[in-house]
Structure 1
Amino acid sequence: MRDAVAPAHADTGGTQAVARALSLLSLVGRGGAQGLGLAQLAAASGLARPTARRLLLALGAARMVEQDRATRRYHLGAETYLLAGFAAERHGILHHAREGMVRLAQETGDTVLLTVPQDDHTLCLERIEGDFPVRTHALMRGDRKPAGLGAGALAILAALPAAEAEALLTRAAPQIGDLMPAVVADLEQARADGYALNPGHVIAGSWGLGVVISWPDGRPAGALSIAAIENRMTPARQVDLVAGLHREAAVIAARLSALGTERNIP
C-alpha cells in the first residue's frame, strides 16, 4: 500500500510547491520598479519566510526573479522578460494596439493612451504622442489610477455590469475623494453615450475621450483614449475623435476575438 500511496503524495507536494512558486512570481511582478523584500513577499503569500526564501532561490536559479544586491529586494528576472516577449503576439494587448495608437496619434496630433484594468485600479500601458506642440501630461506610461478616474478608466468601468462597477467605485472611493460625484455623473453619461468623456476633472484643462476594448466574452480588456487640452475638445471635434477611437478599438477587439476563437474561449 505504501508504494501505491507514495507517488500520489509526492505529486501533491510537487504541485503545491509549483503553485506557491508561481504565486510568489506573480507577487514579485506586481512589486513594480521598487521591488519587494522577503518579509513583504512572505506576508503577502502567507508562506513562512524560510519557505518563501527557498522558493525564491529556485526561481532565481531559473532566472525568473533576481535580487538587488543593494536593497535586497526581489524583481522579475531576465527569463520573464524573454517569455513575455514570446507571449506578446498571442496575449499582449499592447502588441495588437500599438499600430492603431500610432495611426490615431498621427491623424489627430493628440496623445493616445492604452489603459488596462488592474484589480481596483487601471494601469497606463502605453502613451503615444501626436505632433501638436501643446500636450497634456495627466497620464503617463506606468501610471496607476483608481477605477473610474480618467477617460480610459471610465470607459472600462462603464462596460462592467452595474453592480460590479458600483462595488469597484466603493472600494476606490477613499482614493477618488471629492471627485466621486463627478465620476458617478460621468459614468452615467458614458453608459448612455457609448464612450467616456473626462472634462478636466482630474487636471483642470486636460480633457480626455475613451472607448472600451472588449475581450471575446464582452469583458473589458482595456480602453483607448485621447487626451488633449480643452480648446481642442470642441463638441464637433469630439465626434471625429470618438469615431476614430471606436474604429481602432474594433480592430483590436477583432484581433483579440480571433485569439479567443483559436483558444476556444466563449
Structure 2
Amino acid sequence: MEHPRSISARKAVQTTTSAGGAQSLDRAATLLILVGRAGPSGARLADLIAETDLTKPTVHRMLTALVRAGLLDQDPQTRRYHLGPEIYVLGTLASVRFGLHPVSMRALTRLSQESGDSAFLSVAHDVYSICLHREDGPYPIKVHSLEAGDRHPLGVGAGSLALLSALPDREVEQIIAANADILAEKYPRYAGSTLLRLVQETRQNGYALNPGMMLPGSWAIGMVIRGENGRPIGALSIGAIEGRLGEKRQQELKKLLRRETDWVEMRLRQLRHGASRSSGR
C-alpha cells in the first residue's frame, strides 16, 4: 500500500491549478516538505521522483535550484538531500514562542532603551553566527552593519566574536581554519592571526569589541550568553557610531550587558526547571 504522505504529496503537485511560477512554487514546497520528513538520513532522488510523480529532469532541476538557494543541501558521498542552512536561519527567525529569542526580548528592549543605541541577539550555527533580532534605541543616528537574518563567519562582529571566544581553543582554531578562505576573500581585516588575537583580547576584557572592522564608523560591544553546561548559546551586543563607544562608555555598556546576560541565563534556568514565578524585573 502506498504511504499516505506519498499520496498527499502527489496530490499537492497534481491538483495544482496555478500555472508557471505558482506551479513551480507548489512543487518546490512539496519537495522541501518531503526532504524534511526524510529526517537525518536524507532523501534519495529516486524516492522524491516516486513520491511526487514528477519527471526526473523536473525534480532534479528543482532540487538544484533549492540547493543553490541554500534551502536544501546534498551530501557529496551519499547524494541524498537534506534541509539546508537557510532553512535553519528561517526556522530560527520564526521561533518566537519558545527558547532564547523570546526570553531575550525584554533584555534587548532594556539595552536599547538604556543605551539609546541598537541592541542585537546572535546565535551560532556551525561556523557562522546569525543575527536573530535587532532592537533600536531612541538615539537618532543608527548603525546599519547588522540586521536580523544576517549571517557572518564566527568572530566577525561583536556578538559573533563573543560567541567564538567562549569556545575551547581547539574549536576556535578549527572554526577559523574552516572559514579561512571566506575571511580572506570577504573579511580581509579578520584574516590570518587577527581573529586569534581578538579572541584573546575578548577573554581578557570580559567582552568583545568590534572597532569598526566590518563597517567604518560602526562600532559594537558584545557579551556571550551561556547555557547551564557553560557552552555559549547566544550573545547580546550593542552597536553605535564610533563617537559613542569610547573606552569610558565601553565600561558602562559592559555593566549593562553583564546585567542582561545574567538575567537571560537566569530566566532560561527558571523556565528549564519549571519555575512558575518571574524574576520580578
Same fold (TM over 0.5): yes
Shift of 1:183: 2.4
Looking at structure 1, the residues matched to 112 and 271 of structure 2 have their Cα atoms a distance apart, in angstroms, of 26
Shift of 1:49: 1.8
| Runs of 5+ unmatched residues, structure 2 | 6-27, 54-61, 73-82, 84-90, 276-281
Residue 175 (structure 1) aligns with: 182
Looking at structure 1, the residues matched to 216 and 44 of structure 2 have their Cα atoms a distance apart, in angstroms, of 48
Looking at structure 2, the residues matched to 247 and 211 of structure 1 have their Cα atoms a distance apart, in angstroms, of 10
User: In structure 2, do the counterparts of structure 1 residues 85 and 160 end up closer, same or farther at CA, with 3 Å as the change threshold?
Assistant: closer
| Runs of 5+ unmatched residues, structure 1 | 1-13, 18-34, 58-68, 77-82
- From 26, 51, 61, the equivalent of 2:47 is 51
Provide runs of 4+ in structure 1 moved above 3 Å.
35-39, 52-57, 72-76, 83-89, 259-263
Residue 204 (structure 1) aligns with: 216
Residue 102 of structure 1 aligns with an amino acid whose one-letter code is T
In the superposition, the TM-score normalised over structure 1's length comes to 0.69
Residue 121 (structure 1) aligns with: 128
Residue 109 of structure 2 aligns with an amino acid whose one-letter code is V
Shift of 1:260: 3.7
Shift of 1:158: 0.8
Residue 189 of structure 1 aligns with an amino acid whose one-letter code is E
Q: Please list the CA deviations of residues 174-210 of structure 1 after superposition, one character each: whole Å capped at 9, or x if unmatched.
A: 1112222432221110011111011111111111100
Residue 240 (structure 2) aligns with: 228
Looking at structure 2, the residues matched to 98 and 176 of structure 1 have their Cα atoms a distance apart, in angstroms, of 31
Residue 157 (structure 1) aligns with: 164
- From 211, 234, 240, the equivalent of 2:252 is 240
Shift of 1:36: 8.0
- From 201, 206, 223, the equivalent of 1:189 is 201
1:111–1:129 CA contact under 8 A, matched in 2: yes
User: How many residues of Structure 1 are paired with residues of Structure 2 in the alignment?
Assistant: 210
Aligned-residue identity in percent: 35
User: In structure 2, do the counterparts of structure 1 residues 185 and 229 end up closer, same or farther at CA, with 3 Å as the change threshold?
Assistant: same
User: In structure 2, do the counterparts of structure 1 residues 117 and 84 end up closer, same or farther at CA, with 3 Å as the change threshold?
Assistant: closer
Residue 95 (structure 1) aligns with: 102
Give the helix-richer structure, 1 or 2: 1
Looking at structure 2, the residues matched to 46 and 262 of structure 1 have their Cα atoms a distance apart, in angstroms, of 35
User: In structure 2, do the counterparts of structure 1 residues 137 and 196 end up closer, same or farther at CA, with 3 Å as the change threshold?
Assistant: same
Q: Please list the CA deviations of residues 14-57 of structure 1 after superposition, one character each: whole Å capped at 9, or x if unmatched.
A: 9xx9xxxxxxxxxxxxxxxxx88959x69x96532242466789
2:122–2:132 CA contact under 8 A, matched in 1: yes
Looking at structure 1, the residues matched to 119 and 266 of structure 2 have their Cα atoms a distance apart, in angstroms, of 20
Looking at structure 2, the residues matched to 236 and 85 of structure 1 have their Cα atoms a distance apart, in angstroms, of 34
Looking at structure 2, the residues matched to 206 and 159 of structure 1 have their Cα atoms a distance apart, in angstroms, of 23
2:145–2:214 CA contact under 8 A, matched in 1: yes
Superposition map of 1:51-70 within 5 A = 51-52=47-48
